[in-house]
Structure 1
Amino acid sequence: MIHYRQIIYMLWLIIPLSVLQGCAGEEEPAPGDRTAPNIVLIVTDDQGWGDLSVHGNTNVHTPNIDALASRGASFSNFYVSPVCSPTRAELLTGRYHPRGGVYGTSAGGERLDLDETTIAEVFSRAGYATGVFGKWHNGMQYPYHPNGRGFDEFYGFASGHWGDYFSPSLLEHNGELVQGDGYLPDDVTGKALEFIEDHGGSGDPFLLYLPYNTPHSPMQVPDRWWEALEGRELAMRHRDPGKEDPAFTRAALAMVENIDWNVGRIMDKLRELELGEQTIVAYMSDNGPNSWRWNGGMRGRKGSTDEGGVRSPLFIRWPQLIEPGTEIPEIAAAIDLLPTLSDLAGVKLQTRKPVDGISLVPLLSGGKQNWDERLIFSHWNGRTSVRSPAYRLDHQGRLYDITEDRGQHREVSSRHPQVTETLRDTLQGWERAVIPEERGETKRPFLVGDPDFKYTQLPARDGRPHGNIERSNRFPNASFFTNWTSTADSISWDVEVREPGTYRVKLYYTCPPKDLGTVVQLSFGSAAVTDTIRQAHNPPLRGMEDDRVERIESYVKDFKPLEMGTISLPGGRAPLVLRALEIPGSAAMDFRTLMLTRID
């Protein structure tokens, strides 16, 4: 039965108590205080709970990740959101993602509201150096950009999936577009190692957030890792083997073994710098697996609010507090990361809004005698499920006893009608309190011209095509615009210029020799800049040569920059429009992104 104190806890989840005065730690560590622990938070992309040898999967070998569990704490009932950007929003803020305005994974829906407080802001106020290396996926234009959310250093990409993992172009370093160097997970790990070296010997502690882009598709992985999996027998299969694509499974697990190698690089660096004892290392994934493969027999995968879609590994290693081999069966969630890490570090949890998560330190330290039972909610795409310590009520209102039936094979609603009714009522109350009646698709413009940041990138992902123009793929994040055949066609962005200023405009395009001479104009109200495409650049589509299985996302090209000149943007909100005034050939161009750089 659900007892009275559980009902009180349900109400707390719907209307959380304020923690604005925050007392997760008694005192903030002063800058230069080396007793303050460093934080390394590693998040993988589309890795299932079952994609680790520590969880019993004999298809894969992950000794470095397994060591985090054996030398620290392992959570057996840790939950995230069904997809990428919502989980990132929750671990950054300690709050359920609908509260922060995250309703999608692209085209602006992934942006985290600007009045939310992030983990980087909390730790930065306490004197921590902060860095994020990899996939951000909570907003591209400043101040949604990671450099606007408390992170001193950012290297990686701000959109969702990326289309090329081998020395890709159009990555970012603190807003400036740069070329990648080698396989992307290896590259971002290398930058993370530099960050550790830079701050490991200084007087300030650091918060390192390392959100990998793998094993998200496209399924690209270097030969070293692919060859190790290519001929390996898959002894562990999905519970419905007919759904599984073995080649995809091998590619995903090869990418996971590469992640494991990179985790080993991080741990080796901490040992080399004698920082292992004073560094908290946490490891998790952002959602369930991105294909049907072995996942402990659970129902659902990425995108699902069932166990298989939202159960994630969580390992936390910190020798100063956590006993090796600690196993924690209590339910926990991504919303708990911020309060837990701030509590472990003795950093005050000062936020603009009350958090939904709780500190897991009593579980990590063994002092859980008075641990209250709780509920955890999983929501995506109009579907919500709720997990209690024993049960999951799925989005269709069916009850399952997870302690006896992790795979959700046997509905038990009729056996436990009171539990079912209470959980249904609580779920509905949570939805009324947490999910906005109207989502924010049309309410938030893309921001340009923040006085504190000189770069604004406006990619095809965030634009709207008009006329004949089409996306290169139905998944926007790594797409470009093509089929621009008429002067009546255009691309627009709903833009708000926060402060008037003059910007240098760079346009990234491709154009074959036969179509040279297009006159292109960028305008915002009466302000405009015009230029002509005079240099041909017609590279082929690529990506397929590196894919281990056929992708569903867009293939990519190498796009050439066109320096269009400068435009003076007045403040305010209006469409920013890209037009072709003249098209002497059959098409204007293929378009990837605009880069605006403030020059005054």
Structure 2
Amino acid sequence: MRPIPPIPLRHTRTMLSGLALLLAGTSALAGDIVGQVTGPDGKPLAGVRVQAPEALRSAVSAADGTFRLPDLPEGETPVIAGQLRLTTAVERVPVPASGEARIALQLQANGSIARAAALHAEPAPEHLAEKQAYLDSIQPVSGRVPNVLVILFDDLGYGDLSSYGNQLIRTPRIDALAQQGVKLEQFYSASPVCTPSRAALLTGRYPSRAHASNHVYFPTGSPMATIRRSMGWANALPQDEVLLPEVLARAGYATGAFGKWHLGDQPGHRPTDFGFRDYFGILYSNDMNPATLWRGNAVDTPADQTDQATLTERITDEAVAFLRAHAGGPFFAYVPYTAPHLPHHPNPKHSGVSEGGVYGDVIEDLDSNVGRLLDVLRELKVDDNTIIIVTSDNGGDYGGSAGDLRGRKGETWEGGQRVPAFVIWPGVTKPGTESREMAMNIDVFPSILAAAGIPLPPDRTIDGRDARGLLGGGETPHDFLYYLTTWSGQFDGIRDRRFKFHDIVPNVSPLGAGGDVPYNAVPSLYDLQRDNESHDLSARHPQDTARLRSQLESFRAAAASNPRGWREGNAAP
């Protein structure tokens, strides 16, 4: 296992008091502890955190496994060392008044996580019969119904496009979407990380309802997949969730997905199991191994032959072929690119061209490939009957830009969940318009079904709303939107059309990382119309603070009492 993390020092006064007690109760700081960490095979282990927590000392083992904990008080002190998948070593070491104490720490294989994982299974589906009855009730569409193209970027930040203020990265093809449709200034992903956001986009539901709100899914058999199982967390989307491609396929749409899936990699949980008749891409993030490319349910490109530099181009090639094959429509094409998620490998065609460096090269390559998709729609003369939605799965990671927003990927500040978005919807959007009304990716599912004349599933809560009025220049269909933490999957924020209330809740990963409450952090109220979450206005607007806090608590209580959001008697949503 990973070593026990040091106690976070959130207050300067606490830190100084602790140090004063340490100094007052011991001899002068004098001795060092030096040693080496080895693994089960006796070979040196690098990168292991070694700590003397009572003396506030820590070190990381070097390439040869050695470490030094300097300037420790005379006397016995505990030393802790550990690493993922290995046991934690704990020794009490006598520190001399001067000189060095030498120790050797050997970490053994740790079977505890695997034994804990064996106690859990993937959550069992609860509404398979209701799902099947709903899908069986869907009739094929008739007449002229719109095609749908959804383009989803991976970790594209709010400030990564030139149309959203970036001064270094040029994105003319994506920017042109704003001239043809509506640019959304306050559009949100349902989570600040990948898996939960994608689940929300395709189901129209907050990801907590789909066992998808605790960070992201990992390749089966990987250490993190085992850790997720040991925590009782799902590692694949439940089979009783109803996804947009399943509904549209029943209605007669050709359905295809091209790019990153990240909702499960085992049979029964892959794209073709959830309504996509065609699939090409990677089943999880491109920084997870193996980076195998799949076609349908068969391996297309082994991991050792996958070229990340040309992955965006290959995804586009496959999507273009699908559009050509189904130009007679109706079709639903879902293109979730793997970029600009790490690692960044620019296509040679766009390497070194951007003033935004390597990251800019990757995004300008995306821009060019989005242009290819738009050109094909125009060439096929289906652009006047195709809904085009372009957005990101969450805020930008380090290396990307959140613009003037606070926070970034992994955080429930605006920079973690407010994302760029463009919509071209023939007959609904007006060219060259902008909207500052709030919407979320959960609105895609109900909006498209409404446009196709397809009823929503009656057995479950659909959190999204038909947003066509907003897209046409009207007001938001939401009274409130909610924010979900990355690891704990708890609702820690709520916003209305003006204010955002941000609460403090636990958010610690199984590895012990994150979750520390920042110094002086308290539940706060922000005016999103006039500020970027810099100034807490809870004292100035106590009634709005109380109102939003109360609404958040009510929503949490309702979600806790009915986690999956089932509706009794299949009542209409």
TM-score class, shorter: 0.5 to 0.7
Contact 1:281 1:316 in 2 (8 A): yes
Indicate yes or no: 2:201 matched with 1:94: no
Distance in 1 (CA, whole Å) between partners of 2:359 and 2:398 is 9
Deviations 1:519-570 (A, max 9, x none): xxxxxxxxxxxxxxxxxxxxxxxxxxxxxxxxxxxxxxxxxxxxxxxxxxxx
Q: Which residue of 1 aligns with 2:484?
A: 378
Contact 1:110 1:137 in 2 (8 A): no
In the TM superposition, what is the alpha-carbon distance from 1:278 to its structure 2 partner?
Answer: 0.7
- Over alpha carbons, which structure has the higher Rg? 2
Contact 2:152 2:335 in 1 (8 A): yes
In the TM superposition, what is the alpha-carbon distance from 1:75 to its structure 2 partner?
Answer: 1.2
Indicate yes or no: 2:315 matched with 1:188: yes
Q: Which residue of 1 aligns with 2:40?
A: none
Structure 1: stretches of 5+ with no match in the other structure: 1-19, 22-26, 235-249, 440-600
Distance in 1 (CA, whole Å) between partners of 2:200 and 2:456 is 15
In the TM superposition, what is the alpha-carbon distance from 1:334 to its structure 2 partner?
Answer: 1.2
In the TM superposition, what is the alpha-carbon distance from 1:427 to its structure 2 partner?
Answer: 1.9
Q: Which residue of 2 aligns with 1:541?
A: none
Q: Which residue of 2 aligns with 1:567?
A: none
Indicate yes or no: 2:247 matched with 1:136: no
Q: Indicate which of 215, 222, 229 corresponds to 1:104.
A: 215
Residues 160, 431 of structure 1: CA spacing in aligned structure 2 closer, same or farther, 3 A cutoff?
A: farther
In the TM superposition, what is the alpha-carbon distance from 1:435 to its structure 2 partner?
Answer: 5.4
Distance in 2 (CA, whole Å) between partners of 1:63 and 1:435 is 45
Q: Which residue of 1 aligns with 2:145?
A: 36
Contact 2:199 2:207 in 1 (8 A): yes
Alignment of 1:71-82 (within 5 A): 71-80=180-189, 81-82=191-192
Distance in 1 (CA, whole Å) between partners of 2:138 and 2:427 is 18
Distance in 1 (CA, whole Å) between partners of 2:319 and 2:451 is 22
Q: Which residue of 2 aligns with 1:315?
A: 422
Distance in 1 (CA, whole Å) between partners of 2:333 and 2:235 is 22
Q: Which residue of 1 aligns with 2:450?
A: 343
More helix by share: 2
Q: Which residue of 1 aligns with 2:115?
A: none
Q: Which residue of 2 aligns with 1:197?
A: 324
Distance in 1 (CA, whole Å) between partners of 2:407 and 2:330 is 40
In the TM superposition, what is the alpha-carbon distance from 1:28 to its structure 2 partner?
Answer: 7.6
Deviations 1:492-524 (A, max 9, x none): xxxxxxxxxxxxxxxxxxxxxxxxxxxxxxxxx
In the TM superposition, what is the alpha-carbon distance from 1:321 to its structure 2 partner?
Answer: 2.6
Q: Indicate which of 283, 286, 301 corresponds to 2:390.
A: 283
Distance in 2 (CA, whole Å) between partners of 1:153 and 1:351 is 28
Distance in 2 (CA, whole Å) between partners of 1:91 and 1:436 is 23
In the TM superposition, what is the alpha-carbon distance from 1:292 to its structure 2 partner?
Answer: 5.2
Distance in 2 (CA, whole Å) between partners of 1:353 and 1:372 is 18
Q: What amino acid is the match of 1:429? A: S
State the SS of the aligned residue for 1:156. strand
Distance in 2 (CA, whole Å) between partners of 1:294 and 1:125 is 40
Contact 1:189 1:262 in 2 (8 A): yes
State the SS of the aligned residue for 1:409. coil
Residues 367, 309 of structure 1: CA spacing in aligned structure 2 closer, same or farther, 3 A cutoff?
A: closer
Q: What amino acid is the match of 2:530? A: E
Percent same amino acid at aligned positions? 37
Q: Which residue of 2 aligns with 1:211?
A: 336
In the TM superposition, what is the alpha-carbon distance from 1:171 to its structure 2 partner?
Answer: 1.1
Deviations 1:49-84 (A, max 9, x none): 110111111111111111112210111111111000
Distance in 2 (CA, whole Å) between partners of 1:200 and 1:53 is 31
In the TM superposition, what is the alpha-carbon distance from 1:372 to its structure 2 partner?
Answer: 5.9
State the SS of the aligned residue for 2:185. strand
State the SS of the aligned residue for 2:368. helix
Distance in 1 (CA, whole Å) between partners of 2:560 and 2:324 is 42
Alignment of 1:4-15 (within 5 A): none
Deviations 1:255-313 (A, max 9, x none): 11111111100001101111110111100101111115542221111000000111011
Contact 2:209 2:563 in 1 (8 A): no
Distance in 1 (CA, whole Å) between partners of 2:326 and 2:185 is 33
Contact 1:29 1:126 in 2 (8 A): yes
Q: Which deviates more, 373-382 or 408-417? A: 373-382
Indicate yes or no: 2:294 matched with 1:172: yes
State the SS of the aligned residue for 1:321. coil
Contact 2:428 2:468 in 1 (8 A): no
Q: Which residue of 2 aligns with 1:68?
A: 177
Contact 1:43 1:284 in 2 (8 A): yes
Contact 1:60 1:257 in 2 (8 A): yes
Distance in 2 (CA, whole Å) between partners of 1:372 and 1:135 is 29
Q: What amino acid is the match of 1:392? A: K
TM-score by length of 2: 0.64
Q: Indicate which of 282, 292, 305 corresponds to 1:157.
A: 282
Distance in 1 (CA, whole Å) between partners of 2:349 and 2:251 is 42
Count of residues in Structure 1 that have an aligned counterpart in Structure 2: 389
Q: What amino acid is the match of 1:74? A: K
Q: Which residue of 2 aligns with 1:122?
A: 247
State the SS of the aligned residue for 2:186. strand
Q: What amino acid is the match of 1:376? A: Y
Indicate yes or no: 2:497 matched with 1:389: yes
Residues 169, 420 of structure 1: CA spacing in aligned structure 2 closer, same or farther, 3 A cutoff?
A: closer
Contact 1:38 1:280 in 2 (8 A): yes
Distance in 1 (CA, whole Å) between partners of 2:252 and 2:441 is 24
State the SS of the aligned residue for 1:380. coil
Distance in 1 (CA, whole Å) between partners of 2:452 and 2:257 is 19
Distance in 2 (CA, whole Å) between partners of 1:30 and 1:294 is 43
Q: Which residue of 1 aligns with 2:103?
A: none
Q: Which residue of 2 aligns with 1:326?
A: 433
Indicate yes or no: 2:529 matched with 1:412: no
Higher relative contact order (CA 8 A, sep 6+): 1
Q: Which deviates more, 352-361 or 261-270? A: 352-361
Distance in 1 (CA, whole Å) between partners of 2:477 and 2:281 is 39
Q: Which residue of 2 aligns with 1:530?
A: none
State the SS of the aligned residue for 1:228. coil
Q: Indicate which of 159, 162, 170 corresponds to 1:53.
A: 162
Q: What amino acid is the match of 2:318? A: K
Q: Indicate which of 363, 381, 384 corresponds to 2:470.
A: 363
Give the CA RMSD over aligned residues.
2.6
Residues 305, 175 of structure 1: CA spacing in aligned structure 2 closer, same or farther, 3 A cutoff?
A: same
Contact 2:181 2:432 in 1 (8 A): yes
Residues 184, 38 of structure 1: CA spacing in aligned structure 2 closer, same or farther, 3 A cutoff?
A: same
State the SS of the aligned residue for 1:87. helix
State the SS of the aligned residue for 1:362. helix
Contact 1:280 1:318 in 2 (8 A): yes
Distance in 2 (CA, whole Å) between partners of 1:430 and 1:251 is 42
Distance in 1 (CA, whole Å) between partners of 2:162 and 2:319 is 25
Contact 2:465 2:478 in 1 (8 A): no
Deviations 1:567-586 (A, max 9, x none): xxxxxxxxxxxxxxxxxxxx
Alignment of 1:14-29 (within 5 A): none
Q: What amino acid is the match of 2:181? A: G
Q: What amino acid is the match of 1:301? A: R
Q: Indicate which of 183, 193, 214 corresponds to 1:83.
A: 193
